[in-house]
Chains A and B, each alone.
Chain A
Amino acid sequence: MKIAVASGKGGTGKSTVSVNLAYTLALKEKVVLADCDVEEPNLHLFFDAEETEKEVKVPLPTFDMEKCTLCGDCARFCNYGALIVSKEKLLFLKEMCHSCGGCRILCPAGAVGETEVSIGRILKSEPTENLTLITGILNIGEIKAPEVIKDVKITAEKIPDSQITILDSPPGTACSMVETVDSIDFSILVAESTPFGMHDIKLAAEVVKERNIPACIVINRSDGQDEAIEKLSEEMSIPILMRIPFEKEIARIQGNGEILSAHSEKYRNEFMTLSDRIRKIMGDAS
């Protein structure tokens, strides 16, 4: 089962929920924890383990200027403005290129080739006996986060015998979040009860609803004023399965990069209950 932890708004506690749920489940079964927030990955800060590394590469076109006739077909085709062809020369702006491969297919002179360029890294480690952590990291200055996320997910799928994969989504509801929630089984939406949090959790809920992904809400840093989220939960028929109160001690543990569930039996039990309730929903659905 693949579970994505998403939120819309940043900083609501996605990583807290992902790390603690994965840690708790891994006390009993094989778990893969995948950090899909490749622009600002943080899950590795909670674990201490040796990592293996591989590069994420994307194809980029190359141009053989001996063969190029400067016909300009490629520039007219490119919808991203990555190619400019004048009477004298061809200019390729690699930052704009989406690696679609169109210029190579259509070039009448056969002047376009392709090369692989590194845009990020995937780190793999086994911080506890049953837990595999996969972290995607976008290289500084690169923008193609969804391509790195794709690779994180492929790497996660290749881990043998894992019962459950938990994907920590980046904030927002744009390309990167959509890539993360693509073909998953369940989504945990982490909400906080401020007007900002409300607005953004609604957008995130709409994305998963549109994709027919069953979901639940976890309220983080609850100060007891959760009425607005409760109303949203009712309106969108997304159950609230857990509440984590605001406590300075929790903020301190989390801030130090420590795992709440490792400190507290109460939270181990609560995260175990959360997973039982999710499995019940999934069991009832299938």
Chain B
Amino acid sequence: MKKIAVISGKGGTGKTIVTGALADQLNAKMIICDADADASNLDLILKPEILRRIPHAGLKIAEIDQDKCIGCGECYEFCRFDSVIDRKDGTYIIDSLKCEGCGVCGLVCPAECIELKENICGEVFISGSPYGTVVHSELNAGSGATGLLVHEIKKNALEEATDEDLMLIDGPPGIGCPLQSTMSGTDYALIVTEPSQSGLHDLKRLVEVLEKLPVEIFACINKADLNPEITEEIISYLTDSEVPMLGTIPFDKNVIESVRSGIPVTKTDSPASDAVKEICNNLSEKIL
């Protein structure tokens, strides 16, 4: 099974719109993952029906037994994540949003009153949809460690997959932990960028990251007509970097309308739909 991730560097360039269109258009049996775990929106387009829910345990979280705590403050001294709060009354508590579950506080506590507790911070869903099985998730807001959740989502998708030809992944923005986790073991990346100085700057950083990984890169430009000069600049950058351009998508109000109606843009009759269909065809020729 080949794996392709739709990514962007900069947020909000149209990854999810393009992923939804690929799910609709690619002529392959697919398993689809939403790996943009802290802004997971693909379900708003694919309308998956949840079949199974799997609790997601994030990094463990330290807990201080206040009855046994002697108030020495060793945990506060040694924690490198600033997650022990000194309440200035001789007691200490753990800021669960900042704790990374390393266990150093428990290691240094002379009263042995700190333990790491399991932390269920979200759910992974295995769902059915007209486009194939969808693996997506819901993360409790602010609970962090999305790289770990992305890993869980992909692992579940691999377990669910039977005779699928393709794993289609809606990726996260950025170039850090969630992106690295998305790209690990992935064969292809389709970059969705947009013609702005920010879009171009972020694209360059993303390509630099991808060039270090064993992955074949493609790109497309969304809302290309909003700034034709920068679109030209992006195309020439992509040519220089030997990243194949699969097409451009015009700015089109039908895109927002398709999201509002909860359907892939390729199910509408619009200029954006035609453009995205061409990109899907071009991609299909390269990878299927």
Contact = CB atoms under 8 A, between A and B. Distances in A.
A254 B223 CA distance: 14
B146 A175 contact: yes
Contact of B142 (A80, A196, A206, A225): A206
A102 B175 CA distance: 28
Given A172-B172, A207-B141, A196 B107 contact: no
B41 A79 contact: no
B12 A11 contact: yes
Given A102-B107, A200-B39, A10 B11 contact: yes
A199 B98 CA distance: 24
Contact of B10 (A40, A106, A178, A206): A40
B38 A252 contact: no
A39 interface: yes
B39 A101 contact: no
Contact of A42 (B12, B80, B202, B260): B202
Interface in B168-212: 172-180, 194-199, 201-202, 205, 208-209, 212
A36 B37 CA distance: 20
Contacts of B177: 143-145, 175
B72 interface: no
Contacts of A45: 197-198, 201
Interface string A23-53: 0000000000000000110100100000000
B226 interface: yes
A106 B98 CA distance: 23
B50 interface: no
B100 A174 contact: no
Nearest first, the 3 closest Cβ-Cβ pairs linking A and B are: A10-B11, A11-B12, A100-B102
Of A59, A140, A142, A172, most buried by chain B (CB within 10 Å of CB) is: A172
Interface of B is mostly: loop
Interface residues of A, number: 58
Contact of A39 (B116, B143, B174): B174
B111 interface: no
Contacts of A210: 97, 141-142
Interface in A76-92: 77, 79-80
Interface string A173-215: 1111110001000000000001110011001101100110000
B57 interface: no
B256 interface: yes
Contacts of A54: none
A259 to B, nearest CB: 12
Contacts of B103: 77, 79, 100, 102
9 contacts: A15-B198, A39-B174, A40-B11, A59-B80, A99-B80, A140-B208, A203-B39, A204-B141, A256-B197
A182 B98 contact: yes
A27 to B, nearest CB: 23
A256 B227 contact: yes
Given A173-B142, A203-B38, A100 B80 contact: yes
Given A79-B59, A223-B256, A174 B230 contact: no
Interface residues of B, number: 66
A195 B11 contact: no
Given A206-B141, A252-B226, A100 B11 contact: no
Contact of B173 (A102, A171, A173, A204): A171
Contacts of A8: 38-39
Contacts of B11: 9-12, 40, 171
Interface of A: 8-12, 15, 39-40, 42, 45, 59, 77, 79-80, 98-102, 105-106, 138, 140-145, 170-178, 182, 194-196, 199-200, 203-204, 206-207, 210-211, 223, 225, 248, 251-252, 254-257
B142 A11 contact: no
Given A9-B11, A138-B175, A98 B100 contact: yes
Given A9-B12, A10-B173, A100-B100, A174 B139 contact: yes
Of B10, B38, B97, most buried by chain A (CB within 10 Å of CB) is: B38
B145 interface: yes
A12 B174 CA distance: 15
B174 A40 contact: yes
Contacts of B81: 100
Contacts of A173: 38-39, 139, 141-142
B81 to A, nearest CB: 8
B137 interface: no
Contacts of A251: 223, 226-227
B99 to A, nearest CB: 11
Interface in B225-260: 226-227, 230, 251, 253, 256, 259-260
B202 A143 contact: no
B83 to A, nearest CB: 10
B44 interface: yes
Nearest to A15: B198
Contacts of B146: 172, 174-175
Nearest to B9: A40
A70 to B, nearest CB: 20
